[in-house]
Each structure stands twice: as C-alpha cells, then as structure tokens.
Structure 1
Amino acid sequence: MTINAIAIDDEPLALDVISAFAAQREELNLIRTFTNVHKALSFLGENNVDLIFLDINMPGMSGLQLKEQLSPEMLVIFTTAYSEFAVEAFRLSALDYLLKPFESDRFNSAIDKVLEFKNYMNSRTAEANPKYIFVRAEYSVVKIALADILYVESRDNYVKIYLESAAPVLVRMAIKNFERQLPEHDFLRIHRSYIVSLPKVKAIRNMLVLLAGELELPVGRHYKDVLKRISL
C-alpha cells in the first residue's frame, strides 16, 4: 500500500525534517511540500492525496482552519510546537498530533497508525461481515468490536457508543454517517437518536426496545415499521 502525502508548514526546516523521515518509509510517497497554504489548497483541488502533514500556527490561515475546509475522508496529522492545540485538533478528527521537535520513532508510529486505518477501510470495502470498526476518538484512533456495541446515541454533532465491556466512546460524527459504517443485519435505527445492536435486543414492549442490562430505548414514531426486522 502506498500513502500519497503532502506537507504544509511555513518553516522550511520543519518540512526538511518531514521529508527526511518520509524518505525512510517506502509506503509513504511525499509528493510535495508547501510553505504557502493557498498553493497547497490549489494542489489539493487537482491531485489525489491520502494524507496531509499540517502545521497549525501559520500566517494567513491556520492548520485548524484549513482542516475544517477539507473533506472528512482526508487524513491529517498535525505537526506543531504548541501542545495547547491538541484538544481542538482531535475535535477535528485528526489522525495524530506530532509535537515538535519529534523524533523518527514518533513519526513512524504515526505512519503505522495511518497504514492500520487505511488497511481497515480497505478491508471494510472487501469484507461482507466486518468484526470491528475504527473511530477517531479520545485523541487517537480507537478499535471497537461490533459484538461489544449495545447501542449508539446521537448527541448533536457527536455519537456516543455504549459498550458491554468498556466505557462509552464519544465520536464527532453525525449519527446518519455512523450508521453507514454498521452492518445492516446486526444494527437497526429505531429513533432519530438511537441505533441498537439487534443481537442485544431482549424484548419489545409497546414502543420500547429492551436491551441487555435492563436498558430501555424508545422507538420513534417514524421508525415503528422497522420493528418488523427484530426477531426474538
């Protein structure tokens, strides 16, 4: 697998460091480096790129502002000397956050994470029955077993994933987009705010779905017909 990448930083020395580390990874193809954000945007409009190494504190447009303009599918690793931007970076679904000056080991760890994420996305395309999903949460990429999910709750621009054997995971994503990642035969949207795991459904009572652990979730009035898909 080849990862096509660019790097954007207003400091040429920082770009030299990224270029040197990238040259040591044969899976990583660093196509171009940019000190100008707007030239980088023009390049992105005409070329296919998988990954961006992106500085945060730049003149004209910050890396955080640029990230908000990119497609959600674009993978971003922020590179910055300022640790205080970490929370905002991961709120914007960054795949990783390299704090300058970083060494080759930390750089390679970030690239390994990119490769794992890309392999997972490719396997989802080919696999009819995926066993797990990856989500960007808690300042990292989190692997979640589908069999461990009880239900999913929508919270504005986030979803909260409730698990049987671990604490809930909060992910910045609309519930309709998260629903697309779940296999239809195992998960069901029963409400504008809820998706349930069908193997975890224990009973249906009136307009309530009862899950393992005595949990009760309401069925939305526009979703009552979907209850036909639940076989107990």
Structure 2
Amino acid sequence: MKIKCIAVDDEPLALELVSKFVEQTSFLSLEAKFDNAIQALGYLNDNQIDLVFLDIQMPDLSGMELARILDGKNLSKKPKIIFTTAYNQFAIEGYKVDALDYLLKPYSYEDFLKASTKAYQHYEKLSQANNESNSPNKTADYIFLKVEYQLVKVMLDQITHVEAYKDYVKVFLKGKPNPLLSLTSMKNMEELLPEGTFMRVHRSYIINLDHIESVARNVVNIGNVNITVSDMYKDKFMEFINKWI
C-alpha cells in the first residue's frame, strides 16, 4: 500500500528535508511539494491526497489555517495531517484539527518514520475494515511489524514462535535461519496474533500451535527448538492438548 502525500513548507531547506524523508520511505509516495499553503490548497481541491506534511508558520495562509479549511470541507476523504514546526506551543491546536502527529524541528528520520507509521497503520486499518465489510467471513492472514526503519509484511502461517528479547521481540519464521527483530512488546504481539492459532506459553515465548511437532511433559518442540511451558500458562496449554487426546 502506498500513501499519497504532499509536503508544504516555506523554508527551502526544511521542504527539501521532508521531501527527502518521504522519498526514502517505501510506503510513502510524494505527489507534490509547495512553499506556500495557498498553492497547496488549490492542489488539494483538485487531487485526492492521503497525507499532508504541513509547516505551521507560513505567510499569507498558515498551516493551521489550511488545516481548519480542510477540516471544514465536505470531502469524501479528508487527508490526514502531520504538522512540522519549530514551535511546540501549537501542539494543542494541532490536535483540535485532528492532526495525526506533530514533528518538532529539527527532527530526525527516526522521528519522521514513527509519525509516518501512524499514517500507515491508520490507512491499513481502514483497508482491513473495508475488506472485512466486503468479505465478513475472511480474516487477515498477515501482520505488519516494524523492523529497523521499515514495516515488514509477515504471513501468520510462517511464524513458528516469538521470543522476548530486551525491548524487542524475535519473530522466527519457517525456513528462515534468522528471526525478525521488532521493537515491540510481548503483550502487543499477543494482541496482534490470533488467539486460536497462537498461544503464550511462557513470559518469553508465544508459539504457533500449528507448528508444534511434539510435546514431552512441559516442553514443546518446534523444529529444533525446545520451549518450556511455564506454570503460569500450563493449564491453558493443557486444555488445548487434551482436546486432541
């Protein structure tokens, strides 16, 4: 999925920086860039755009004024806004116009990516909701994980198990020698992974039940990995096992 976006900033260096960040982000597509909000407004009236990276303090028409105009328009699909500014006093005003995020200059690519990922997740949820409404019996068979500076699509049936690793999780995939390292929590992974297929069996492990090869006492074997089922999760795991005995 590509998110169509524009960049608006009256400072040439700032405009070039945000444009550069957009172009190096795989899920963003830079459709246009403007050094004033009036031209940007004209473009938005004639083109369908998903996301606007918008400076606040600009002559003639400020970014906040542009956001209010867009918020009041009867558009079938209003673009989301990520404000970029050197002044943090506009944060509250930004949220009043339903801004997606707020980047305080000078910001790094990591900050930019974090804000952009919010936009990706927003439109991904909309896409999934539309798919579910069209096919109510179909559930998503994949998830997206943040790996370094990108979002990686991971098929659920390829995940054998997940292991906690400091502030990260290691996601092990069938046939892949090295796991994906994602900056997230085990709790978040539990929420992402469907309960009927995945089960947490230890504070540090979530397993894909379809990939179990054998069970010996309180140890689960998946490929060449042995995972201990801790006492905290033992009863729930045994309920699953007893269904097949």
TM-score by length of 1: 0.63
Look up the match of 2:152: 142
8 Å CA contact 1:93, 1:137 repeated in 2: no
1:43 to 2:127 alignment: no
1:205 to 2:216 alignment: yes
8 Å CA contact 2:7, 2:33 repeated in 1: no
Q: Distance in 2 between matches of 1:187 and 1:134?
A: 16
Among candidates 163, 169, 175, match of residue 173 of structure 2: 163
- Relative to its length, the structure with more helix (as a share) is 2
Flag structure 2 segments of 5+ consecutive residues without an equivalent: 20-31, 35-39, 57-84
Please give the secondary structure, in 1, of the residue aligned with 2:230.
Answer: coil
Letter in 1 for 2:49: E
RMSD of aligned alpha carbons: 3.7
Flag structure 1 segments of 5+ consecutive residues without an equivalent: 65-77, 79-88, 97-112
Please give the secondary structure, in 2, of the residue aligned with 1:223.
Answer: helix
Q: Distance in 2 between matches of 1:207 and 1:182?
A: 23
Look up the match of 2:124: 120
Look up the match of 1:33: 55
8 Å CA contact 1:7, 1:15 repeated in 2: no
8 Å CA contact 2:8, 2:53 repeated in 1: no
8 Å CA contact 1:95, 1:141 repeated in 2: no
After superposition, the C-alpha distances for 1:122-155 in whole angstroms (9 at most, x for unaligned) are 3455475211111110321111010100000011
Letter in 1 for 2:168: Y
After superposition, the C-alpha distances for 1:92-140 in whole angstroms (9 at most, x for unaligned) are 85657xxxxxxxxxxxxxxxx955x544333455475211111110321
Look up the match of 1:109: none
Structure-2 change in CA distance of 1:41 and 1:165 (3 Å) = farther
Written as runs of structure 1 = structure 2, the 5 A alignment for 1:169-208 is: 169-208=180-219
Look up the match of 1:20: 33
8 Å CA contact 2:202, 2:230 repeated in 1: yes
8 Å CA contact 1:8, 1:37 repeated in 2: no
Letter in 1 for 2:182: V
Q: Distance in 2 between matches of 1:219 and 1:181?
A: 21
Look up the match of 1:151: 161
Structure-2 change in CA distance of 1:8 and 1:222 (3 Å) = farther
Aligned identity (percent) is 28
